[in-house]
Amino acid sequence: MEDKVLVIVFPSIFSLNKIKPLITNIKKILKIENQKFHKIRQEGDIIIVETDDPVFTSSAINTLFGIKRVAIAKQVTNSFDSIVNGISKVGVDLFLESERFLIRVEGHARGFMTKDVEVAATSSLIEKTS
C-alpha cells in the first residue's frame, strides 16, 4: 500500500445522524470550489476524502455547517515499522530542535499496543531531531 494523504472530517454532534447529507454537501462544496477528489467514504463516525490537494480541500470543507473539525492525515499500512516511520517523518518536518511535543496514538492493531508505537515514535523523533 502506498502512503496516501487524506482529509479526515469529524462531524459535529448535530450532524452525526445526518452523515449521508453531509457527504452530499461536501461533494457540492468541492465541486463549487473546483477541488478534485477521488473518493469520499465513511468509516464509523468519520468521513474520509481522498484528494490531490488536501490543504485547499480541508479549507473548503471546514466552511460547512455540521463539521466539528477537519484534519489532514497520512494513511500507512498497519505494521509497527511503517507507523513509527510515518510518524517520525512527519515529525521531523514539523518540529524544531528543542521543541516540546507529545505523540498520542489511537486505534487498535494486532501484534502490538498503541503505547508501544507512542514510545518508539517518540524515541525515533528525539533521535532524528537532536
30 and 55 in a common domain: yes
63 and 17 in a common domain: yes
Long-range contacts of range 13-19, CB-CB < 8 Å, 24 or more positions apart?
Answer: 13/68, 14/66, 15/65, 15/66, 15/67, 16/45, 18/66, 19/45, 19/47
List the one residue out of 23, 3, 7 whose CA is nearest residue 71.
7
Residue 124: pLDDT band by 50, 70, 90 thresholds?
very high
Burial label for 127, CB within 10 Å (0-12, 13-18, 19+), is exposed
Where residue 39 sits, what CATH number does that domain have? 3.30.70.1510
> Where in the sequence is the domain holding 107, given as residue range(s)?
80-129
Amino acid 23: pLDDT: 95
pLDDT in tens, 17-57: 999 999 999 999 999 999 999 999 999 999 999 998 899 99
61 and 29 in a common domain: yes
pLDDT in tens, 46-104: 999 999 889 999 999 999 999 999 999 988 888 899 999 989 988 888 887 777 889 99
11 and 29 in a common domain: yes
